[in-house]
Amino acid sequence: MLTSAATRCAMHMKNINKALWPSLSQPQIGHHRFISSSPLVMDDNSGGESSSSNNGDDKKEMIQRWMKWNTAKTWKYEPNHDLISKIGKEGSTSPLDAFRDTVSKEKRQTERVGRSWSAKELRRKSYDDLHKLWLVLYKEKNMLLTEANLARRHGYMMIQPDRRKKVRKSMGGIRHVLGERKRAKIADHKLYLEELERVGALLEDLDVAAGEGGSMEDDMHNEATEKLEEDKI
């Protein structure tokens, strides 16, 4: 009884869904679908009635084309062991030396690296020196990122991992010093513009005063001339 009641309830809900959403119960024609399966699965699900040998060859060729396209789109890393073996060796001219630590691990474990650059020291540097130091720190950052990635990939601890923090702090100090210089230059330029405006206003006041002074002198001269003529009469 319970099973039949549950079946009737399920059928009733199915009919309600068909009535409310008729588009879900009918096949969609003319709409694109996202397909993540291979052409073989697509053709098997399509339910084609033709089973001739030509159709089978077409399926095989389609699968081969799809596999070739999928392989071409999938990038696989194949390391160049000959080039990697030359990195860090004496007299090596490999371009990858800039991305690897050329100092031996034994020397790294025994000798500690220096501290980061402070803002007080960087303020004494010129713009050209800061630019050169930025390039050196940028190359050091790329090298340390490579070493950290290799250590994570091969499962060993990176030697002196605090070097990344020191490089990041030094680069932040360079940005801070350059920002200070930029803000100071902008402030000086604003003061220069304000001074120009103030001097221009003073010159305009002087011109106005000079014009007013000339008219007063003319009036006084005319008044004196009139008095002299009255005295003569």
Q: Give the pLDDT confidence of 155-182 residue by residue, as tens digits.
A: 888 888 899 999 999 999 999 999 999 9
Note the pLDDT of residue 131: 95
CA nearest neighbour of 87 among 75, 71, 99:
99
Lowest mean pLDDT among 16-25, 61-70, 142-151, 185-194: 16-25
Q: Is the pLDDT of residue 113 over 80?
A: yes
Note the pLDDT of residue 89: 66
Note the pLDDT of residue 227: 74
> SS3 sequence, 79-143?
CCHHHHHCCCCCCCCCHHHHHCCCCCHHHHHHCCCCCCCCHHHHCCCCHHHHHHHHHHHHHHHHH
What mean pLDDT do residues 30-48 have?
46
Share of the chain above pLDDT 70, in %: 61
Q: Structure tokens of 71? A: 């392989």
Q: Is the pLDDT of residue 226 over 70?
A: yes
pTM of the model: 0.50
What mean pLDDT do residues 207-215 have?
61
Note the pLDDT of residue 10: 65
Note the pLDDT of residue 18: 55
Note the pLDDT of residue 4: 60
